[in-house]
Structure 1
Amino acid sequence: MAKKKKSIAKPSVERTEHTNNYWKCLLNRTDTPFNGEALKHECRIGIYGWRKKFLYILIILIAALVVLNAALTLWIISVLNFSMNGLANMRVDSDGLTLNGNAFIDDHLFATSISSRKDQSLRLISEDNITLIARSSSDGKVANKISIGNSRLRAISNDFRINGRDGRLLFGVNEDKVTVATDTLQVDNLSGLRFSRSIQTPLIQAMGHSDLKLISPERRVSLLAPISIAMESRLGDVSAISLKDLRLKSKQGKITLESKDIQFRNLHLAIPTQTARHQFSSNVYQLCVCADSGKMTAEGRRSEVILLDGRRVELIIQPKLFAGDLFDIVSSHFNLKEKEYFGLAFLDETCQYSWLNLDKRVLEHEYAKKHTHEKLILHFLVKYFVESITQLNDTASVELFYLQAKSLVANEVIQVYADTVFLLSALVLQSTHGDYVNEEKVIEEYKELRGQSRGHAIVKYMSIIEKQPTYGVHFYEIKDKTGIPYWLGLSYKGINQFDYNDRRIPRRNFQWKQLENLYFREKKFSIEVRDPKRVVHTLSSINLYENAIEESIDTFDDLSTAITDPTTQ
């Protein structure tokens, strides 16, 4: 019996037959209504069995991988802080690399330029040190190096320079010399400037209102010159102090002491027990030499005159010295021309200034008689104020008015408002130190005054002070008839009455043209006002003496130009 051969059909033929059978099954059912469920069972179509399960599993795995990939992508973006501009705070553009936050460099950093944003600072911070190296482009060797470490700063360079904003050299160091190209080399530390060897310079000059000291703590100071040596102080003193002897020796010439006033301080005082028979003029200063000891003694009383800039002038006042002569002696130190605005005064027991009568001897004043065993302290002050400093012809007088006004504002005698204090302080700084160049923290008012000269600052200061209600007012403590205390203010404008606890704005104001008569007797001060009702105001005052004090300092500034400048008017 012959074996039947197995029919092996190819997949393509099987799929074709399956499709044909599907269409035949569909066409044979035209006699019955179309039923999808029946057709599904009778005519089998689609993927069935394990193939269908595998397909579903594959689709689920692909969807899970897509979701996981999207989640990881979002997590990486969140952790690394990606943005449209770049990675985190870092942005890469055509200009370079921009960092908005802190950058930590673990190794070397190579860059041609490192800069900060506008109006922001650039900080380089290191736990150990910061080293900046510049190499030569030809051989690659180190050309310049700056190392900033713990409490040290080292620089390696053949030529070290510091230039100003305008490109001008300010400081330079090389193997041959050290150059300081500024107008002035100023040393502000307490120990001064020390040199281990000699120094050669054409000029050694102290700053204004400061002392110049040449000190050798263990050896000596020698000043040598082939022709001459000149020591000059235009605003202050020249002092030579020695622990032992001080010798002035001229081998071929002579020693000349040339001055309008020559003072010998700390001399022994010779107080006579009786009045001398011979009368000397008030401008004669007597020195006596003791026969046994050879010591020189000065007859008189020790006194001290405090000037407006804080300096003190020590004098020996003779019993017959008039206050006017003493005033001329003090004012002659400053070459003062307008003396009529100034005077001498002393503080009495009530801490009020009492002016010296220039036609009376100094030691005959009541204060000098009560304090015979004390040093007589006098003050050189402005007595008569003017409405505007433009009425002054001498720049020295303007300087003194400025110093007096500055002192009165500091002591709250001239009351100013809070916003005006800042501007006045800035003007004081501008007149004292010039332009303020510190970039860390600048007072706004002071910063706006940059470029103004010292004279303009002083005139601007005085123009503000002259507008204050208490400018030029001398205050005296008084009481009315009922015993209520007040302050009586005398000025060039008139007589003002202030509350005892508030001297900012006057309670009453009597101009000079309104006054008809003034009466002062036995500590009672009466004002008769020009009024139809003839109201008489009676006040009790401790003292109302006319006085003034003056000081003058040579100024090298353009005060004359500043006074007439239209911008200061």
Structure 2
Amino acid sequence: MYLKTLELSSGSILLMVREEYTTATEGARLERPEDQYFYKIGIYGWRKRCLYLFVLLLLVILVVNLALTIWILKVMWFFPTGMGHLLVTKDGLRLEGESEFLFPLYVREIRSRMDSSLLLQSTQNVTVNARNSEGEVTGRLKVGPQMVEVQNQQFQINSKDGKPLFTADEKEVAVGTGRLRVTGPEGALFEHSAETPLVQADPFQELRLESPTRSLSMNAPRGVHIKARAGNIEALSQMDIRLGSSDGMLVLDTETVRLPKLTQGTGDPAGISQGLYEICACPDGKLYLSVAAVGTTCQENSHVCL
């Protein structure tokens, strides 16, 4: 008969094997000495204490990690709908308050709240780029400390109803508003030609068209109208002033026309004409005065034209 007994104790395993032998002789029993073998399986001594210490250390690390995770979630304001001022909505992301971006931001649309304005601020400059599908820059808006730069094929400013107010490209600059007002004391400076249907000064202010070093030319296919409703019209030039009409005539419609510095011819004495003169014209258009008589005296004073 074989009998095996297994006993478990705290921290050790005791295995005891017992063997008994009996004879088949009737009335006699022979017992052999019992041999017991004990095998100890387990961790004892300093190894056991190190294991407990390691398990305790892992438990402490687990508690610290859990506490740090909860603290980070609380500090960063993690919520099911977002993180801190960043909220995730069905329309996209929503930021409350001021936000700082350290790297490029790629979005399709940026909108402010209904009751506040949108502010983009930088210590250097603010640059907005538009790129095509290949990543090439097709448009750029750069706001720097010294200059606002727009790089594009065309720059256009529209009104609320979509009407173009200001358009600029490589060929021309167009102002679509009804009136362009220049309020600076020095007026407006045009390096080349300017095309407009009307040039008008503010009420009680004088209008001056001036070219300091070159000539001033006003051309119109159907005439140039110069009108001063209250005041004088003065045309000053260092050299010549020319009033011409390619198809038509020049009309001076006024009560008095004064030419105080016309050259006077010396044909007849002034006493004969009693201070009356006639205006004569040279072939080149030069005007001069000639003493009035019964007949014309322009031919007699034609030496003025030489």
TM-score by length of 1: 0.33
Q: Does 1:133 align with 2:129?
A: yes
The aligned counterpart of 1:159 is 154
Q: After superposition, give the CA deviation of every residue in 1:235-274 in whole Å (9 maximum; x if it has no partner).
A: x434426498998989976644349xx9xxxxxxxxxxxx
Q: Does 1:86 align with 2:82?
A: yes
Q: Does 1:195 align with 2:190?
A: yes
Q: Does 1:144 align with 2:148?
A: no
Give the 3-state SS of the residue equivalent to 1:10 in structure 2: strand
Q: Distance in 2 between matches of 1:227 and 1:128?
A: 53
Out of 104, 110, 123, the position equivalent to 1:108 is: 104
Give the 3-state SS of the residue equivalent to 1:216 in structure 2: coil
Whichever residue aligns with residue 185 of structure 1, its letter is L
TM-superposed deviation, 1:113 = 0.8
CA change 1:184–1:238 in 2 (3 A) is farther
Whichever residue aligns with residue 133 of structure 1, its letter is N
TM-superposed deviation, 1:82 = 2.8
Paired residues for 1:71-470 under 5 Å: 71-137=67-133, 139-225=134-220, 228-234=223-229, 236-240=230-234, 242=236, 255-258=252-255
TM-superposed deviation, 1:175 = 2.8
Q: Distance in 2 between matches of 1:103 and 1:224?
A: 57
Judge conservation of contact 1:232–1:238 (CA < 8 Å) in 2.
no
Q: After superposition, give the CA deviation of every residue in 1:130-179 in whole Å (9 maximum; x if it has no partner).
A: 22111223x44322111222211221211221111101111112233222
Q: Distance in 1 between matches of 2:93 and 2:237?
A: 68
Whichever residue aligns with residue 126 of structure 1, its letter is S
TM-superposed deviation, 1:54 = 9.5
TM-superposed deviation, 1:114 = 1.1
TM-superposed deviation, 1:57 = 7.0
Which structure: greater helix fraction? 1
In structure 2, the gaps of 5 or more residues are: 15-43, 258-306
TM-superposed deviation, 1:123 = 1.4
TM-superposed deviation, 1:183 = 0.6
Whichever residue aligns with residue 102 of structure 1, its letter is E
Judge conservation of contact 1:171–1:179 (CA < 8 Å) in 2.
yes
Q: Distance in 2 between matches of 1:176 and 1:90?
A: 46
CA change 1:150–1:54 in 2 (3 A) is closer
TM-superposed deviation, 1:220 = 3.9
TM-superposed deviation, 1:193 = 0.9
Q: Distance in 2 between matches of 1:250 and 1:69?
A: 95
Q: Distance in 1 between matches of 2:82 and 2:220?
A: 71
Q: After superposition, give the CA deviation of every residue in 1:399-432 in whole Å (9 maximum; x if it has no partner).
A: xxxxxxxxxxxxxxxxxxxxxxxxxxxxxxxxxx
In structure 1, the gaps of 5 or more residues are: 1-6, 16-48, 263-569
CA change 1:213–1:253 in 2 (3 A) is closer
Q: After superposition, give the CA deviation of every residue in 1:31-85 in whole Å (9 maximum; x if it has no partner).
A: xxxxxxxxxxxxxxxxxx99x9999978966764554234312321343233454
Judge conservation of contact 1:170–1:181 (CA < 8 Å) in 2.
yes
CA change 1:227–1:172 in 2 (3 A) is closer
Q: After superposition, give the CA deviation of every residue in 1:484-517 in whole Å (9 maximum; x if it has no partner).
A: xxxxxxxxxxxxxxxxxxxxxxxxxxxxxxxxxx
Q: Distance in 2 between matches of 1:143 and 1:239?
A: 51
Q: Distance in 2 between matches of 1:94 and 1:165?
A: 29
Whichever residue aligns with residue 103 of structure 2, its letter is D
TM-superposed deviation, 1:228 = 3.6
* Larger mean Cα displacement after TM superposition, 185-194 or 199-208: 199-208
TM-superposed deviation, 1:187 = 1.0
Q: Distance in 2 between matches of 1:247 and 1:145?
A: 48
Q: After superposition, give the CA deviation of every residue in 1:366-422 in whole Å (9 maximum; x if it has no partner).
A: xxxxxxxxxxxxxxxxxxxxxxxxxxxxxxxxxxxxxxxxxxxxxxxxxxxxxxxxx
- The share of aligned pairs that are identical, in percent, is 31
Whichever residue aligns with residue 207 of structure 1, its letter is D
* Larger mean Cα displacement after TM superposition, 184-193 or 83-92: 83-92
Q: After superposition, give the CA deviation of every residue in 1:97-148 in whole Å (9 maximum; x if it has no partner).
A: 22113222222211111111112111112222222111223x4432211122
Whichever residue aligns with residue 10 of structure 1, its letter is L
CA change 1:180–1:77 in 2 (3 A) is same
Q: Distance in 2 between matches of 1:87 and 1:248?
A: 77
Whichever residue aligns with residue 175 of structure 2, its letter is V
Judge conservation of contact 1:249–1:255 (CA < 8 Å) in 2.
no
Q: Distance in 1 between matches of 2:169 and 2:232?
A: 36
CA change 1:258–1:74 in 2 (3 A) is farther
TM-score by length of 2: 0.57
Judge conservation of contact 1:159–1:172 (CA < 8 Å) in 2.
yes
The aligned counterpart of 1:488 is none
Judge conservation of contact 1:171–1:181 (CA < 8 Å) in 2.
yes
Whichever residue aligns with residue 6 of structure 2, its letter is K
Judge conservation of contact 1:144–1:156 (CA < 8 Å) in 2.
yes
Judge conservation of contact 1:146–1:156 (CA < 8 Å) in 2.
yes
CA change 1:245–1:176 in 2 (3 A) is closer
TM-superposed deviation, 1:86 = 2.1
CA change 1:59–1:195 in 2 (3 A) is closer
Give the 3-state SS of the residue equivalent to 1:11 in structure 2: strand
Judge conservation of contact 1:134–1:144 (CA < 8 Å) in 2.
yes
Give the 3-state SS of the residue equivalent to 1:172 in structure 2: strand
CA change 1:226–1:123 in 2 (3 A) is closer
CA change 1:84–1:208 in 2 (3 A) is farther
Judge conservation of contact 1:133–1:144 (CA < 8 Å) in 2.
yes
